[in-house]
Amino acid sequence: MNKTKSFAISKQMVFKAYNQVVANRGAAGIDNISIEQFQEKLSKNLYKIWNRLSSGSYFPPSVKAVEIPKKNGGTRVLGVPTVADRIAQMVVRNSFEPKAEKHFLPDSYGYRPRRSAHDALAVTRKRCWQMNWVLEFDIKGLFDNIDHELLMKAVTKHTDCKWELLYIKRWLTAPFEKKNGEIVPRNSGVPQGGVISPVLANLFLHYTFDKWMVINFPNNPWCRYADDGIVHCKSKEQAEYIRISLEKRLEQCKLAMHPDKTKIVYCKDSNRKGNHENIQFTFLGYTYKPRKAKGQNGTVFTSFLPAISKKAKEHIRQTIKSWRLLWMTNKSLVDIAWQYNPVIRGWLNYYGKYGKKELTKVLEHINLHLSLWIRRKYKKYKTKPTQARQLLSYIATKERNLFAHWKVGIT
C-alpha cells in the first residue's frame, strides 16, 4: 500500500472490481468507451482509477440517460455510468455493502446476495395460504425520489469510512446527460443502473419500510423486492388500516405509494367464501389468483396460486413476433435455435417455476412462427399449413434438444 495516499484503497480492490464489472457486461457510458475498448489500455486505465480513488481526487462523470420502454407502456430512465465509473462504484460497493447487508431483514429479497425473485415468490405463495388478505403496494418512482439527506443519515449509521462517505455523496449528485447533450442536475434519487444504487435503495427502504413494519405490525408477514411489496393481513379492515399507515410513513420519508399499483386483495380459494372486488395481484411477473388444483387423492379444488402474468405473456408474444422468423429463410433451424435459445431458456427458468401450463401456451407461439418459417422457406408447404405443422412436430420429436422449449415437451 502506498503510504502517501489519502485513503487505504489497494490496487487489488480495483482489480477485483474490474473483474466483477466485466462479468456483468453492460453498455458504454457517455464517453462511448466499451469494455473491450477499456481493456485495450487496461493497466493504464485501472491505475488511473486507483490513483484517483486512493488520493480522494476521483469525481464521477455524468451518467448517460437512456430511456427504456416499460412493459405496461411509458418509459423508464436508466442511468448508464461509464465503464471506469462502474469499476469505481464497485470498489465502494464491495467495501460498504457487507456493513449494511448484515443488518437487512430476511424478507427483503431484491438485489441481495444469495436471494432471488423465486425466493420471494415462494414465501408469498405459502403465506397466501395462511392469511386471507394481501396489501399489494408499489412505491412511485423510488429510484428518482430517494431523499439524499435521509439516505446519507442511514449510510452514516453503518459506516464511518471517510472515502466511502465521500464517494457515495459524489455519486448521488452526479448529473444525468441526455442524448442531445443536455445536463440534468440531480437533487434526489439514485440512478437506476448504477452499481452502488441497489444497496443504497435497499438501505433507504430498510428504515422506511422493513424496520417500520417489524416495530408497528409485528404480526403481519411481509415481503419486499426493491420497490414492490406484499403485506399479509387477517382481515380487510386490517389491510386498509396498514395501507393508510404506510401512506403516511412514506410521506414522512418523502416517498409516495403508486395509486394504480396499490390494492387490497382477497386470497380466494375453495375454503374462503364471499365475493370481493379484487381476488388477484401481480408480483414479480407472476399473477396470484384462484386456480384449479388437484390433491394427492385426485380431488379437484380451487387454490390461490401463482403463474406467469398477462403482461409477461404479452411481452413474450411481442418479443417472439419481433424476431421476424418469417424473414429468416436464409438460416437453418440450427442457426435460429442457437440465436434464440438463451432467451427461451431465460423464460423457462424464470416463468416455469410455477404454473408451467400457462407458460406452455405462450411458448407455443414460437412453434407457430416456426411453422410459418417452414411454409416460407419450402415452396411445397406454402399453402399447406397442416403439413408444415406436422413436419415441425416430426423434427421436434427427432431433435428434441434443438430448441430449449422442445426439450421440456413444448412441441
Task: Output 69 or 30, whichever has higher pLDDT.
Answer: 30
Q: With bands split at pLDDT 50, 70 and 90, how would you rate the model's confidence at 305? A: very high
- The pLDDT score that the predictor gives to residue 162 is 96
Of 60-69, 125-134, 215-224, the range with the lowest mean pLDDT is 60-69
Q: Report the alpha-carbon distance of residue 139 to residue 210 in Å, rounded.
A: 13
Share above pLDDT 90 across residues of the chain, in percent, rounded to a whole number: 83
Task: Output 227 or 75, whichever has higher pLDDT.
Answer: 227
Instruction: Indicate whether 181 pLDDT > 90.
Output: no
Q: Report the alpha-carbon distance of residue 317 to residue 405 in Å, rounded.
A: 14
- The pLDDT score that the predictor gives to residue 221 is 98
Cross-strand partners of 301: 293
CB 323 within 8 A of CB 354: no
- The pLDDT score that the predictor gives to residue 289 is 97
CATH of domain 11-260: 3.90.1850.10
CB 108 within 8 A of CB 206: yes
Q: Which of 107, 138, 139, 110 is nearest to 124 (CA)?
A: 107
Instruction: Indicate whether 347 pLDDT > 90.
Output: yes
Residues in Cβ contact with 345 at an 8 Å cutoff, skipping those fewer than 6 apart: 404
- The pLDDT score that the predictor gives to residue 334 is 96
Task: Output 26 or 40, whichever has higher pLDDT.
Answer: 40
Instruction: Indicate whether 3 pLDDT > 70.
Output: no
Query: Edge to edge, what strands does the sheet with 228-233 contain?
Result: 222-225, 228-233, 133-138, 263-266
Of 90-104, 142-156, 290-304, 336-350, the range with the lowest mean pLDDT is 290-304
Q: With bands split at pLDDT 50, 70 and 90, how would you rate the model's confidence at 73? A: low
Q: With bands split at pLDDT 50, 70 and 90, how would you rate the model's confidence at 71? A: low
User: Torsion over CA of 106, 113, 33 and 342, rounded to 10 degrees?
Assistant: -100
Instruction: Indicate whether 55 pLDDT > 90.
Output: yes
Q: Which of 275, 278, 285, 269 is nearest to 228 (CA)?
A: 285
| pTM: predicted TM-score of the whole model, two decimal places | 0.91
Q: Report the alpha-carbon distance of residue 151 to residue 378 in Å, rounded.
A: 62
Instruction: Indicate whether 275 pLDDT > 90.
Output: no
Q: Which of 335, 333, 278, 281 is nearest to 311 (CA)?
A: 281
Residues in Cβ contact with 297 at an 8 Å cutoff, skipping those fewer than 6 apart: none
CB 233 within 8 A of CB 134: yes
Rounded to whole angstroms, the maximal C-alpha distance in the chain is: 79
Q: What angle do CA 78, 80, 86 make, to 5 degrees?
A: 135
Q: With bands split at pLDDT 50, 70 and 90, how would you rate the model's confidence at 298? A: confident
Q: Count of CB atoms within 10 A of residue 170's CB?
A: 14
Q: Which of 286, 343, 5, 22 is nearest to 136 (CA)?
A: 286
Average pLDDT of span 199-208: 97
CB crowding 33-47: b at 16 or more within 10 Å, else e: bebeebeeeeeebbe
- 176-177 vs 263-266, strand pairing mode: unpaired
Q: Which of 268, 301, 262, 302 is nearest to 282 (CA)?
A: 262
C-alpha cell of residue 407: 426439450
The domain spans of the chain are 11-260, 310-408
**CA 32: distance to chain centroid?**
25
For CA atoms 241, 108, 271, 264, the dihedral sign is positive
- How far CA 299 is from CA of 7, 128, 219, 224, 307, in Å, comes to 67, 21, 33, 34, 21
Average pLDDT in the chain: 93
* Residues counted in the chain: 411
Average pLDDT of span 214-224: 98
C-alpha cell of residue 153: 443519515
**If you compute the radius of gyration of the chain from its CA atoms, what whole number of angstroms results?**
25
Cross-strand partners of 75: 69
Q: How many CA atoms lie within 13 A of 244 on its CB side?
A: 5
Q: With bands split at pLDDT 50, 70 and 90, how would you rate the model's confidence at 263? A: very high
Instruction: Indicate whether 115 pLDDT > 70.
Output: yes
For CA atoms 339, 345, 346, 347, the dihedral sign is positive
- The pLDDT score that the predictor gives to residue 31 is 93
CB 266 within 8 A of CB 132: yes
Average pLDDT of span 50-77: 85
Q: Report the alpha-carbon distance of residue 368 to residue 326 in Å, rounded.
A: 10
Of 59-73, 99-113, 157-171, 252-266, the range with the lowest mean pLDDT is 59-73
Of 2-6, 39-43, 108-112, 290-294, the range with the lowest mean pLDDT is 2-6
Instruction: Indicate whether 323 pLDDT > 90.
Output: yes
